[in-house]
Homo-oligomer: A and B are copies of this chain.
Amino acid sequence: MNRAAEYFTRFIKQKNLRMTKQREIVVRVFLGKEGHLGIDELYSLVKKKYPEIGYATVWRTLNLLKEAKIASEVSFTGKKRKYEHLFDHKHHDHLICLKCGRCIEIVNPKIEQLQEKLARQHGFKIRSHRLEIFGFCLRCSGDKNE
């Protein structure tokens, strides 16, 4: 069991909730899968290991993970929500290809600094931010049909 899973267990205890087989599996599967995961995708992955599990349970567990700050929501399109790891993961921004959907994670401290400065100028205290850059990746920008 890794740190994030332990952390989740502690989080559950602290809230006087109970650790169940279902939660354990959902958490394990989620943590074992880097990148962006939709509820449906997570649900079907979990179902392979525990076919009796219900969609609602996966949904609820994902919410708990969010509450525990182990998962965070990312919504590129405004349609289906996706989730990514937050625990033990550095903050990063996203480069998203409009053609193939590929998503590259990027980090740039300078941009973060500028944001901090900009916010200060407006009397703002930053909690988090989200930067998504849309465009065409190397592979796709070579193509004609944009």
* Chain A residues engaging chain B, CB cutoff 8 angstroms: 73, 75, 78, 81, 95, 97-98, 104, 106, 108, 110-111, 114-115, 118-119, 122-138, 141
22 contacts between A and B (CB under 8 A): A73-B78, A104-B122, A104-B124, A106-B122, A108-B118, A111-B114, A111-B118, A115-B131, A115-B133, A118-B133, A119-B135, A122-B138, A124-B133, A124-B135, A124-B138, A125-B135, A125-B141, A127-B135, A129-B132, A129-B133, A129-B134, A131-B132
Among residues of B, the one whose C-beta sits closest to the C-beta of A95 is B124
Q: Is the CB of A127 within 8 A of B98?
A: yes
Q: How far is the CA of A47 from the CA of B30 in the complex (A)?
A: 46
Q: Is the CB of B130 within 8 A of A136?
A: no
Please, which residues of chain B bring their CB within 8 A of the CB of A73? 78
Among residues of B, the one whose C-beta sits closest to the C-beta of A74 is B78
Among residues of B, the one whose C-beta sits closest to the C-beta of A130 is B132
Please, which residues of chain B bring their CB within 8 A of the CB of A129? 131-134
Q: How far is the CA of A115 from the CA of B107 in the complex (A)?
A: 11
Please, which residues of chain B bring their CB within 8 A of the CB of A108? 114, 118
Q: Say how far A66's CB is from chain B's closest CB, in angstroms.
A: 11
